[in-house]
Amino acid sequence: MSQTITLYVDGACRGNGKDVAVGGWGAFIQTGTEEHKIYGGELQTTNNRMELTAAIEGISICPKDTKLVIWTDSNYVKKGITEWIEGWKRKNWKDVKNPDLWKQLDAVCQGREIEWNWIKGHAGHAGNEMADHLANLGADLALKNNGIARHVPQIQFEKPSSNEAQDIKKPEQDWLLDDPFGLELAEDMAEEEIIEIMEEETEIEIETNLENDTETEENSIENQLHPQIVITPATLEAHGPRQLILDTETTGFYYQDGDRIIEVGAIEMINRKLTGSSIHIYINPQKPVGESVTVHGITDEFLQDKPLFEDISQVLFDYLKGAEIIAHNATFDMNFLDMEFTRAGFPALSEVCEVTDTLAMAKSRHPGQKNSLDALVRRYEIPQRDRTFHGALLDAEILSDVYLAMTGGQVSFDMEALSHTEEQSTSSGAVRIEIELPVILPSAEELEAHENWVKQYEEKHGAPCLFAK
């Protein structure tokens, strides 16, 4: 059995697709007992090119007689090298983007045993997060050098014992020997369409904007957070899609008229359990808060020394993107967040996040009733908190309780409790179900139409109808 090396590879590009772009790549290499980190970057590139370069560099540095287990958050790379590349070769790379890098990747894979895997980016996986961090170090290094830069130290890998069998992928034969007349080209048409869709839909990522000081990785980690950004790490280890219960406070109601965000709070939930992770930021809107102070209690004086949105935008975007955003009257919050991120040079947050509106959910479940956050707290008998003033993080915490209550409460797999419930159901017979029915009052026009109908009925039949008795 050959030695196995695990590779996490990732690319980053700030200003992807724009006139001015700086990109970076990173590879986090794990052997049985050691870890190695390499990274680099260049100017005027794209996110896809950096993803490919990360894979090429990571594979190239590993011994050819080792088995590689590669993890990438780019479906473009994973599907390209495992599914589409043979079709590209048969077409002589016609209409393929980045053919130079695809040819390099194909070449370094020949004669190797490689297992390719996809992993969701920015989902909290340590290996993927490290590769993302290294890619951003590479971008910083390229920016500092004003050109192509590489940080690839000499690595001494452990050598497998001489009696270990070598399980190596054989080099692939020239396609002309297998299909000299190109009869399989027709089969590639549907594949070509898939490729075009993948390249068009590849997410345009604007990755973490770390400080320019890249002397050590530790300094970069310390410097990436603004001192007034409060991020609480998770205390519960959970795996699954991230949900972020979010709330904002603003200077007013109308983002179109220049109102700005002054506070953002979000808490993380995975598999219907709060992980303990949260983010909370106060923001200087560069304008008076006005009468909105009566709602949130945040004054102009308090916000004077707080960071501008562009100062915290990178960290906030990285924390939020890829998650499902849950908010009450989500259209309000997302309109403001989209506006702020767009002004800071990022994609709209709604383009990189799924959004769930608990106000819309509440209206669907309780038509004709009050569905404000306070009303839902009373309806679902959620413990009261002091809400003299609204606060983003406080409202997010309350909304998490409301969301869990509206969607079925906490999920329990306590078998004894389930058995006890079944016994109660068997002994009690009929179960009483309480349902709140909506009361919809008629309008003045409807009342008038009803009265006219009652009179017409009596004139026609000579007796009043049931409704008039």
Which homologous superfamily does the CATH classification assign to the domain defined by 225-406? Ribonuclease H-like superfamily/Ribonuclease H (3.30.420.10)
Pairing of strands 35-43, 149-151: antiparallel
Strand partners, 247: 265
Which residues, in sequence order, are bridge partners of residue 273? 270
Q: Does domain 4-201 fall into CATH 3.30.420.10?
A: yes
Give yes or no on whether 4-201 and 225-406 have one common fold.
Answer: yes
Return the closest-CA partner of residue 246 out of 120, 124, 411, 398. Answer: 398
Which residues does the annotation mark as catalytic?
390
Q: Which residues contact 416 (CB under 8 A, 6 or more apart)?
A: none
Q: How far apart are CA 371 and CA 320, in angstroms?
A: 26
Tens digit of pLDDT at every position of the chain (469 positions)? 468 999 999 999 987 656 678 999 999 999 878 899 999 999 999 889 999 999 999 999 999 889 999 999 998 999 999 999 998 988 888 888 899 999 999 999 999 999 999 988 887 888 999 999 999 999 999 999 999 999 998 888 776 555 544 444 444 555 444 544 444 444 444 444 444 444 444 444 434 343 333 333 333 333 345 778 999 999 998 889 999 999 999 999 999 999 999 999 999 999 999 999 999 999 999 999 999 888 888 999 999 999 999 999 999 999 999 999 999 999 999 999 999 999 999 999 999 999 999 999 999 999 999 999 989 999 998 887 655 455 788 899 999 999 999 998 543 333 343 444 444 444 445 556 667 778 888 888 888 888 888 888 888 877 888 767 6
Q: Domain extents for the chain?
A: 4-201, 225-406, 444-469
Distance CA 77, CA 75 (A): 5
| Type and span of the H or E element at 230 | strand 229-232
d(CA 175, CA 86): 8
